[in-house]
């Protein structure tokens, strides 16, 4: 595969008000990374976690973090490239489908 696929997770230390019984954003980020690595290997996807309440100054991260807060999105919000593929409680099937749509193949 050529260029790596970028997966970005936007979340917070505090649980989303509607996500009380779910794992934290950081826990879900780690879980997604482990699941994707098991299925596809570790060479074709880059991972980035953004704290929505303390985002980096650079764009598009800062702008999207503000959008998550302003639009009351359920977090974590999972993006593959620039497409939202999960919100609140991301589904592995949906994430896998988005990765495969971009040419990633299971090992």
- Strand 83-87 with 77-80, pairing: antiparallel
Element (DSSP H or E) covering residue 80: strand 77-80
CB-based contact 40:104 (threshold 8 Å): yes
- What Å distances lie between residue 78 and 2, 42, 90, 95, CA to CA? 22, 18, 7, 8
Residues 27-74: pLDDT tens digits? 999 999 999 999 999 999 999 999 999 999 999 999 999 999 999 998
Q: Please give the DSSP secondary-structure letter assigned to residue 45.
A: E
97 three-class SS: helix
Task: Assign 1 a pLDDT band (cuts: 50, 70, 90).
Answer: low
Domain boundaries defined on the chain: 5-101
**56-92-10 Cα angle (round to 5):** 15
- Chain-centroid distance of CA 6 in Å reads 9
pLDDT value, residue 12: 92
Options 3.30.565.10, 3.40.30.30, 3.30.70.100, 3.90.480.20; CATH for 5-101 is 3.40.30.30
């Amino acid at each position: 595969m050529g260029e790596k696929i970028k997966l970005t997770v936007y979340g917070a230390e505090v649980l989303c008000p509607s996500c009380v019984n779910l794992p934290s954003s950081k826990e879900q980020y780690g879980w997604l990374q482990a699941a994707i690595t098991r299925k596809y290997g570790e060479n074709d996807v880059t991972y980035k976690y953004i704290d929505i309440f303390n985002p980096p100054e650079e764009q598009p991260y800062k702008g999207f973090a503000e959008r998550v807060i302003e639009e009351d999105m359920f977090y974590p919000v999972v993006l593959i490239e620039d497409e939202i593929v999960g919100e609140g409680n991301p589904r592995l099937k949906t994430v896998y489908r988005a990765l495969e749509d971009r040419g990633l193949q299971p090992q």
